Amino acid sequence: AVHVLVPLGTIGHWKHHLTVEQDERFERIFQRKMKDFPLKLAVLQHDCSCYFQRSLLDVDLIEHLDDFEIRDDDVFIITYPKSGTIWTQQILSLIYFEGHRNRSEMVNTCDRVPFLEHSSHKVDHVNRPSPRLFTSHIPYYLAPKGLKKQKAKIIYIYRNPKDVLTSYFHFSNWLVTFEPSDNIEHFMKRFLDGKVMGSLWFDHIRGWYEHRHDFNILFMMYEEMKKDLRSSVLKISSFLEKELSEEDLDAVVNQATFQNMKLDPQANYDYILKSENWTRTNEGDFLRKGTIGDWKHHFTVEQNERFDRIFQMKMKDFPLKFIWDINEE
């Protein structure tokens, strides 16, 4: 179900997987991005290890993503999957669109803030009116070069990876387009090996943070947004240079609460997914729990200790704060 662009430890293994058309397409992208690179390469570089969901991917757009035209007032939500993406779509849509705040316009949030790389809803981005709002899971190295002019804005939402993993496990078992896992142990192995859409969580967040000076970017922690949504909305609107009246701020905060989003068909994706038969069952919701610390109900002591060891090894010098439990300050 996933489109893998990384070899399995042998030279030339790609020949058993790529079609002629896929190979030619890869060559075009490689030549464009690496034309001045002085080293000889015998295998694919690690930067091509991003995983996309083939059934959702707009291949033509990805092929030309480097040259995707960026406007100065574009805004991008960037996340690793299951880190508050839909929530932030709702917040931005409420901030930017009065018709959403006062419910005078019945437009789905996924249409107001569409995914850049997905083809499920073909969007004519070139002719969209400004300001354009986008959502994406892309790693930093696939960002259109126009984003590095540091005028368009990026909001990067990050969440503690134990809860990301737990949410992703349930999500993958619910949607037919994802490979299901029998248990959390099986999914944890895939997650820690980067064999899920979005590839390695560690690489995604480190990549964007370590290249933050290349972009006009605001980092927001999911858990802090949960604890104080009002302050978080103010911080986001300030970054976006969007002034909200007290009445508008109240409307944004109220409609962006988890419980209200679960009840709002424009915001929660449930109707779209179930009506298009993307789910394995009609039971369950796209917005499942949205809590802090749900991993404690799924991880064994050994799994938690193993995850902690890997986290410490990969993130020991990483300066951003993480909250693992609802009671943490």
- Given this model, what pLDDT does residue 313 score? 96
With cut-offs at 50, 70 and 90, classify the pLDDT of residue 63: confident
Domains in the chain, start-ordered, CATH in brackets? 1-49 (no CATH), 68-315 (3.40.50.300)
Euclidean distance between CA atoms 293 and 166, whole angstroms = 10
β-pairing verdict for 133-136 and 153-158? unpaired
Which residue bears the tokens 């693992």? Answer: 324
> For 232-255, what is each residue's pLDDT tens digit?
999 999 999 999 999 999 999 999
Summary mean pLDDT of the chain: 82
The torsion region of residue 143 among left (phi > 0), alpha (psi -120 to 50) and beta comes to beta
As a whole number, mean pLDDT of residues 182-189 equals 91
CA distances from 16 to 8, 9, 11, 90, 100 (A): 11, 13, 11, 42, 49
- Given this model, what pLDDT does residue 9 score? 44
Euclidean distance between CA atoms 135 and 9, whole angstroms = 33
Q: Residues 316, 116: contact at Cβ < 8 Å?
A: no
> For 36-55, what is each residue's pLDDT tens digit?
665 544 333 334 445 666 66
Euclidean distance between CA atoms 156 and 101, whole angstroms = 23
Any catalytic annotation for residue 170?
Answer: no
- Given this model, what pLDDT does residue 100 score? 79
> For 108-148, what is each residue's pLDDT tens digit?
887 889 989 876 667 888 899 999 999 999 999 999 999 99
Instruction: Pick the catalytic residue from 17, 64, 118, 137.
Output: 137
As a whole number, mean pLDDT of residues 300-309 equals 97
Q: Residues 1, 179: contact at Cβ < 8 Å?
A: yes
Q: Does the reported pTM lie above 0.85?
A: no
Nearest residue to 53 (alpha-carbon basis) of 278, 259, 240, 215? 278
> For 274-302, what is each residue's pLDDT tens digit?
555 555 455 545 445 668 899 999 999 99
Q: Residues 132, 240: contact at Cβ < 8 Å?
A: no
- Given this model, what pLDDT does residue 273 score? 54
Taking residue 19's Cβ as centre, other Cβ atoms within 10 Å add up to: 8
